[in-house]
Chain A
């Protein structure tokens, strides 16, 4: 460290000027950068480098060991003409809708309930609703996998049986797999989003509500004209994080459908994982990652557009 300083100070010496120690301001700046450097260093090693490397790999043919061979756009062509890739994309989007939309809507309702004066044991409820978020994803997937057992004696199938519904094969049917996985996502993230909404609700100054009350606003009007507009930044945040999270859905389907990579439940990230680490086709896998990157950008842009219209 000390060495760095002296070197830096020497290298920053403007010529023909009396040697002086660093100015206070520069010193402060340096210490500031040193304090924040761990993140940037770690990001450079574990974030930036892999990102750039996969952009490079997207144009190569490589099995992880041998020579890399430049193949131009071949990988992209493969991915874009692979029906399974499109299937994985549509799976991801369907699970996104199934898992995310209800989550956000119910999250707001729950947050509203937790914030109202009518509920006792608030802290208890707040903690318990947040609990799913801190459980391990793998554990969640295993437990849900047991609940969504294909057999007649699986928990969910038994419950459905009470209502006279035939047992569903949760691990092989088109909708069964998606509903099971979306349920896991919903269960795990609902608490997280609720707590964020709750924080947002509590940040709304009470004077606004009081003023509205004096003006004779109904509850519906209060929600429409105060709560939703004031929550907008929070809404945008949750929609964004949920979208990106849903598009990167990986652990739940991997644990739930196991290493069968069945097409009913394969997500984009699972697809590229299989491509890279199971089939050792790193080029196409990187190409798929790049394509996913652009898809996320496009969807985020749409999100911004939509979110900006909320509460207008």
Chain B
């Protein structure tokens, strides 16, 4: 009995040692790359970035660097990254992090290289200030990532529905007529009366549009919950419109939401950023020419956009930095925009002739670049906080309950705040 037990444990021990020793072997030959060796970099992204084209271009110019791109679904990519930096193994050399998640990873500063050590400060002037600050520690000493794209918000609208309601269809006139949220509400009543259609189909779209215009959102810089003072007004406005039947019930990203786009069962999509263009085209491929883009009432906000970071595990931070600083440089951001519609975070590009000339036939020939660039200029930096997602999820639940169940808005708001506090307590 004893004999085989010791035998067994020894065997497992040997195997475990064999399993562990693999890791050690990989560590050798670090610091390579300087003398003609090939440096391999793993690069994890989500969504459709179109970076593969740019990577090829970079590899042609730098034959000693080989970059492997892995793509995944947004939440999965962030979860994997979080798990691997928390376990201390398995992170890529370069990780793309979305703006709503960046604060969460900022907490783990020590697991990432400070890009200021590699010269990030010198190039900070290339980017929009607020965007740069989002990936910066509060005292500005630590820079976790370089900015990729941004999501300045505008208002997409259906020209056919606007016309049926007797409202203007020209983008200048639309912006002039719907120049405030009160005017938006009036327009909603007109559209409802004339066509029977809601002005927007997803409660979240209206709420997010209003929320993204605030200087402060769910948390202040001390991570105290301030939603009551900042976004309650947006919530009240949205729920009032829901109760008057001016906003539909669809939840974002659902199949019904996509169908509504194709059918034109509503008039406007407020708070739509640049990357939403691809979504609309994907969901409503046949609706070309029926959509257009105008400025959003009361100034643009920002929804989405990302950063490129280098986790501490990488053995080639210098090469990784050289690549990401190239990838996020104005010239390459311009290419990303023309290839894939990622709106640049480098204001210099906004003056570029080629860039400004971009129009989109799908959106009735709207000068997309010009409109988004205009929006980008009025965006203000917002501190999102570590627990942004918790608050956002619960407020969405409340909105859904009001829209679908006809629940009482105030009671739902209180319940949501209760649930949020319950969860924040445990952090």
Contact = CB atoms under 8 A, between A and B. Distances in A.
B77 interface: no
A125 interface: no
| Residue among A40, A65, A283 facing the most chain B CB atoms (10 A cut-off) | A65
Interface stretch (A7-15, A206-214, A244-252): A7-15
A171 B104 CA distance: 30
A33 B390 contact: no
18 contacts: A4-B10, A11-B6, A11-B10, A33-B4, A34-B11, A41-B15, A63-B107, A65-B85, A172-B404, A172-B405, A258-B253, A260-B393, A260-B396, A261-B397, A277-B79, A279-B427, A281-B423, A283-B426
A149 B12 contact: no
A261 B389 CA distance: 12
Interface in A39-60: 40-41, 44
A130 B401 CA distance: 38
Contacts of B253: 258
A44 B19 CA distance: 13
B249 interface: yes
B37 to A, nearest CB: 33
Contacts of B6: 11-12
A260 B397 contact: yes
B419 A33 contact: no
Contacts of B249: 150
Main secondary structure of the interface of A (DSSP, over half): helix
Contacts of A37: 8, 11-12, 15
A150 B111 contact: no
Given A12-B3, A63-B107, A78 B425 contact: yes
B75 interface: yes
Contacts of A278: 389-390, 393
A26 B7 CA distance: 10
B255 A146 contact: yes
Contacts of B390: 278-279
| Residue among B4, B389, B396, B405 facing the most chain A CB atoms (10 A cut-off) | B4
A26 B256 contact: no
Interface string B248-262: 010101111000000
Interface residues of B, number: 42
A103 B329 CA distance: 59
Main secondary structure of the interface of B (DSSP, over half): helix
**Chain A interface size range:** 35 or more
A64 B75 contact: no
A84 B393 CA distance: 15
Contacts of A7: 10
Contacts of A64: 82-83, 86
Nearest to B405: A172
Interface string B159-182: 000000000000000000000000
A100 B427 CA distance: 36
B7 A65 contact: no
Contacts, number: 94
B398 to A, nearest CB: 11
Given A65-B108, A172-B405, A279 B11 contact: no
A8 B10 contact: yes
Given A12-B3, A84-B422, A278-B389, 7 more contacts: A4-B10, A30-B7, A41-B15, A146-B255, A149-B256, A172-B405, A281-B426
The 7 A-B pairs with the shortest beta carbon distances in the complex, nearest first, are A281-B426, A64-B86, A65-B108, A172-B404, A284-B426, A65-B86, A8-B7
Given A64-B82, A84-B422, A279-B427, A150 B7 contact: no
Interface in B398-420: 400-401, 404-405, 419
Contact of A84 (B4, B75, B82, B419): B419
Contacts of B422: 82, 84
Nearest to B15: A41
B53 interface: no
B41 to A, nearest CB: 24
A285 to B, nearest CB: 9
Interface string A101-125: 0000000000000000000000000
Contacts of A30: 4, 7
Contacts of A34: 11
Interface string B186-214: 00000000000000000000000000000
Contacts of A26: 3
A279 B397 contact: no
Contacts of B111: 65
A85 B13 CA distance: 40
B153 interface: no
A151 B86 CA distance: 42
Nearest to B249: A150
